[in-house]
Structure 1
C-alpha cells in the first residue's frame, strides 16, 4: 500500500513539474483580463476636497465683494516642510483658497510664474522664452505669501494598554493604543515691491491629528490541534486634510487683515466645528432612504430648485435628478445627480446650529427628523454692480469702457439688456459667445467677460446722457415666449421696445404672471474732456500698479 501511494505521488509530482515548464497560453486568460478595465476603476464617486473652512472661504468672498475692493495681484513662495514628514502641495492649496475667496468678488488674482527650473513645465518654459524676447510682460504682483510648515511633533501623547490571559488550552490578549501628533504652520504676507513682510499680517496655527488601534488575539488547543484568531481595527487621520485646514485658516486671517474686513465673522460659522460633518454623518445613517430624500427635497424646494407644489419624487425621476444636479453645481460639488452624504450635508447645513452647551443640534426639523419646518421658496434675486476701479462709478466720460458683474441667488435663466440715452435697447446676454441662458448661482457673470480673450463685445459709453444695463432672471426659458425681445440677434437693436421699462413689460406679459427678478445699474455719460496744452506736454505718468487693474485686452467694440 505504501509503495502504491509513493508511486502515485511521484507521478503527480512529474505532472505538476511538466505543467510548470510548459509556457502559459495567455489566450486562456482572456475572460479574466476582460474585467481589468472595470476592476481597476474606483468603486466610489469622487468628492470635492473640502476642509472645515470651505464655507468660511465663501463667506470671505462675499465680504470682499461687499467691501468693493479692486482686484489685487498676489503670488506666493514655496511652502517648505523642513521636517520632511508632510508631503503635500501647500502652494497649490494656497492658490485654491485664494481662488475660492475671489469667485464673486474678483478680489485677488494669482500670478503664476515659477523660477525653479526643476519645477517648470511647458507653460513656464514658453513664458520664459517670450519674456526673454520681449514678447510678453508679467504684471508685478502687489502681495506675496511666505511661510513654512514649522514643526511636526509626533507622538506627543501615546496611550497604550495591553492585557493577556494564558492557560493550558487557551490564550487570549487585548491591546489598544492612541497617539496624538501636532502640526504647525507659519504664514506671512509681504509687500512684493519692497520684498518686506508686513508687520502684523502673520498667522501661526497648529492642529492636532491622531491615530488609534485595537487588537484582539485568541488561541486555543483541542488535543494535538490548535486554532488562532487575530482581529484588529485602526484609524489614521491624514496630514493632507490637516494641512489644508491650516492653509485655509491662514489665508482667511492674512487676507482678511490686509483687506480690513471683519473676517472673524466667517470663522464663527457652525460649519467650522470639528464635529459638524461627523454628527451629520450619524444623522444620515440613522435615517431611512425615504426620510433622507424627503428632507433634502424640502430643502431644495425652499431654495427654489423644485416647485413648491411638487409631490414626493422617486429617486430616479428626471425632475429630481435635475434639481440635485443643479444644486450640486451651484455648491461646488461633483455633479452626480444622486443623493449622497455630501449632498445631504450641503442641503441641511442651514438647519443645524450649536446649542448653549456647544453641541450640534437640529433647527426646524420635525419631531422624527422627516420634515423641515421652513418657509416657502426663496424669491429670485439679482445682485449687480459696476466693477470699474474708480471712486465714482456713476459718471463716465464718453468712450469709457464699463465693466459690470451680476449674480443670482439660485439657478435661473438670465437675460441682460442695455439702454442708451435715447431709449434704444440691445440684448447683451445671451449672445453668440455665451449662448446658454441658464446660469449657476455659484458664479458671477461678467458683462463683458473681461477675463476671456474674446469676450464677444466691449461695453463703451456713447453720447452724453443716461445709460443703463438691466438683467432679468426667470425660472423658465423665455426663448419661445419673447419673439420680439429674445429672438432678435444679440447686440442688435430691439425694435418697438423703449428702454428697460419696455423690456420689463414684455417679460411680465410673456411670463403669465409668474414672478421674475430684475435689477439694473445706470450711469451718467459726460462729454470727453479735452486735455490742456500743459497736460499734453507733460511726461507720461509712471504705470500704475497692476494690482488695481481689471482692464481686459482690447476686443471689437459694441456693435
Structure 2
C-alpha cells in the first residue's frame, strides 16, 4: 500500500478574503463591545504592590577607597587634628556625560574621614536659588533677622570633571557565513572611556587656591560584548536565533573612586599626615572585591559560614559558647547584625557576600607574584591550603588559628575635644568636651571624679539612658552637636579632675552596687574615689573583663579680667 503525502494550499485570493474577514471581526469587537470593566482586573492588580518591590536587598555603597577613608580618620585622630570647617563649590561637568551628584559624594567622603577624629565639619549653605530648599529658606530668614549665625569655613573644595574622552580605543570583530539555507554570525566589541577630574583646596578667607593642594586623576571605564546569530530556512519556513553577553562599567562608581582619592590627597596634604599609607592598602586594588567574589562563588555555604563565624569570634562578636551555633540562631544573627552596623553596612542579620567581604578583607594580601592570597583561611575540600603569611595589618587572631585563640580585645579611646594646644590644664569654669569610642559594639559607662572628691556618672544618664554604643562612633560628652545637650561639663574647683570610662561586652548595670545604679548626673554616694568604681566593675565583669581608659586635667583658678 502506498501512502501519498498531501499538502494544504490556499489560493492567494482566498488568503485575501480570509484576512479581510478576520479584520472585520476585530473591528466589530473593538467598536461594538461594551467598555472594559476595571473591577474585573482587581485580582490581577492586587499583585502590583508585590511586583513593584525590589527583589534584592539594598547594599551600602562601598568603593576601593572605603578602607582608606577610615584609615585617614585614624591618622587625623592620632595627629589630633583640630576640627576645621569646610565647604565646597558645585563641581560641574561641562561634557554632560557624567550626571552624578558630585558634591554629595564629596560630603560623604569628608564625613567618612571625620567619624572618629571630627577633623572636618561641612558647612551646608546653598546660594543657588534654583537649588535652595526648605532648610535653606529658613536659614536665610533666620540670618536676616539675626536669630542664627553661620561660622565662616576655613577651607573650600573647588574643581570640575575636566574631561570625558569616549571610546578612546575601540576593538571590534565580526565574522559570518552565508549559505542557501543557513546563515551564521559572530561579533565581539570592546571599548574604553577615560574620565578625568581635578579638585583643588582653597583658603576661604582670601578665596585663593592653596598652591600644591590639588589633585588631578583619571579613571578608565569600559564596555564590552559578544553576540552569536543563527538564521536559516526549512522548506518555506525561516527561523532566527541570537544570543549576546554585554557589560558596562558605570560612571557613578568611577566618579566615587575619583572623588574619594582626591579628598584623601587634599586632606592628607593639608593636614600634613602620611596619607600615602592609606593608599597602599591591598583593599584599594581594583581587583580586590572581584577576587573575593570569585572565592565566594567557589566555596560552599558551610565554608562561608565557618569562615565568617571565625572572623566574628576573632573580633569578639562571638565567644567560645556561641561560635558553634548555626548561622540562623538568634544569637549568631544578633552578632551578624552588630557587626554589620559597626561596619556601616545595611543591617540584615544574614550572611551575604557583603558581610563575607567585610569579614574576610583583612585576611587577604598580595603575594610576591602580585596575586591575591588568603591569609590563615581554613583549608577544605573546595579551597586548597594557602600559606599563612602575615601582612602586617591583621590585628585579630588568624582565621586558621585554634578555636581557643584569644579574640581581638575590646578597645576604648577617650579624648578631650577642646580646640586648645594644652588639654591637660583648664581655667575654672571652662567648658570641657570629651568623646569616647569603642572598637566594637559595647556597653559604655563614664564617671567623673571632681577635685573635691565627689563622684558622678556621666553615661548613661537621664538624657541618654542606653549604655549600648556602636563601634567606631565617637560618643560626645556632652553632645555639643545638638542645640540642647541636656548638661554641660565645666571645670570645677581648682585641683585635679578626672573622667574614667568602662566598656563591656554585656550590660553590667544590674550587677553593679546599688550606689552606682542610681540616676546619672547626680552625686554617687558610698564610693571613695575612682578606684572603688574600678573595683566594682572588676567584680561585676568577672571573667569577661572590660576595657578602661581615664584622662585627667588640672583646674587653675580663674584669672582676673584685665583692666
- Aligned counterpart, 1:18: 29
Whether 2:97 is the aligned partner of 1:85: answer yes
Which residue among 250, 257, 263 is the counterpart of 1:238? 250
Deviation larger for 320-329 or 16-25: 16-25
Per the TM alignment, residue 484 of structure 1 is displaced from its structure 2 partner at its CA by 1.9
Deviations 1:449-480 (A, max 9, x none): 11122222111111111111110011111122
SS in 2 for 1:226: strand
Residues 7, 359 of structure 1: alpha-carbon distance in 2 compared, 3 angstrom cutoff: closer
CA distance in 2, matches of 1:289, 1:354: 25
Which residue among 160, 169, 176 is the counterpart of 2:172? 160
What count of residue pairs does the alignment treat as equivalent?
532
- Aligned counterpart, 1:410: 440
1:124-143 map, 5 Å: 124-143=136-155
Which residue among 19, 37, 57 is the counterpart of 2:49? 37
Whether 2:434 is the aligned partner of 1:423: answer no
- Aligned counterpart, 2:339: 327
CA distance in 2, matches of 1:376, 1:73: 42
CA distance in 2, matches of 1:372, 1:482: 35
Q: Is the 8 A contact 2:307 2:378 kept in 1?
A: no
SS in 1 for 2:214: strand
CA distance in 2, matches of 1:54, 1:331: 11
Deviations 1:138-186 (A, max 9, x none): 1110000000000000000100000001112111000000010000000
- Aligned counterpart, 1:114: 126
CA distance in 2, matches of 1:12, 1:163: 43
SS in 2 for 1:208: strand
CA distance in 1, matches of 2:97, 2:211: 30
CA distance in 2, matches of 1:344, 1:392: 44
CA distance in 2, matches of 1:7, 1:349: 69
- Aligned counterpart, 2:471: 441
Whether 2:541 is the aligned partner of 1:518: answer no
Per the TM alignment, residue 135 of structure 1 is displaced from its structure 2 partner at its CA by 2.0
CA distance in 2, matches of 1:358, 1:193: 47
CA distance in 1, matches of 2:274, 2:320: 36
Q: Is the 8 A contact 1:153 1:182 kept in 2?
A: yes
Q: Is the 8 A contact 1:191 1:197 kept in 2?
A: yes
- Aligned counterpart, 2:399: 372
Q: Using structure 2 for the length normalisation, give the TM-score.
A: 0.91
Q: Is the 8 A contact 2:85 2:153 kept in 1?
A: yes
- Aligned counterpart, 2:507: 477
Q: Is the 8 A contact 1:382 1:518 kept in 2?
A: yes
CA distance in 2, matches of 1:394, 1:511: 31
Whether 2:229 is the aligned partner of 1:217: answer yes
- Aligned counterpart, 2:320: 308
- Aligned counterpart, 2:497: 467
Which residue among 101, 114, 139 is the counterpart of 2:113? 101
Whether 2:58 is the aligned partner of 1:28: answer no
- Aligned counterpart, 1:347: 359
Q: Is the 8 A contact 1:160 1:178 kept in 2?
A: yes
SS in 1 for 2:526: coil
CA distance in 1, matches of 2:18, 2:91: 71
CA distance in 1, matches of 2:379, 2:45: 53
Higher relative contact order, structure no. (Cα contacts within 8 Å, ≥ 6 residues apart): 1
Per the TM alignment, residue 392 of structure 1 is displaced from its structure 2 partner at its CA by 1.0
Q: Is the 8 A contact 2:313 2:323 kept in 1?
A: no
Q: Is the 8 A contact 1:398 1:462 kept in 2?
A: yes
Gaps of 5+ in 1: 534-559
Deviations 1:276-328 (A, max 9, x none): 00000001111111110110000000000011343432232101110110000
Which residue among 522, 533, 541 is the counterpart of 1:503? 533
Whether 2:465 is the aligned partner of 1:453: answer no
Q: Using structure 1 for the length normalisation, give the TM-score.
A: 0.92
SS in 2 for 1:293: helix
Deviation larger for 488-497 or 369-378: 369-378
CA distance in 2, matches of 1:476, 1:52: 34
CA distance in 2, matches of 1:443, 1:457: 20
Per the TM alignment, residue 108 of structure 1 is displaced from its structure 2 partner at its CA by 0.4
Residues 210, 448 of structure 1: alpha-carbon distance in 2 compared, 3 angstrom cutoff: same
Per the TM alignment, residue 483 of structure 1 is displaced from its structure 2 partner at its CA by 4.3
Q: Is the 8 A contact 2:213 2:270 kept in 1?
A: yes
Q: Is the 8 A contact 1:484 1:495 kept in 2?
A: no
Per the TM alignment, residue 18 of structure 1 is displaced from its structure 2 partner at its CA by 2.8
Q: Is the 8 A contact 1:308 1:377 kept in 2?
A: no
- Aligned counterpart, 1:401: 431
CA distance in 2, matches of 1:484, 1:76: 52
- Aligned counterpart, 1:536: none
SS in 2 for 1:234: strand
Deviations 1:184-226 (A, max 9, x none): 0000000000000000000000000100011100012221112
CA distance in 2, matches of 1:277, 1:11: 59
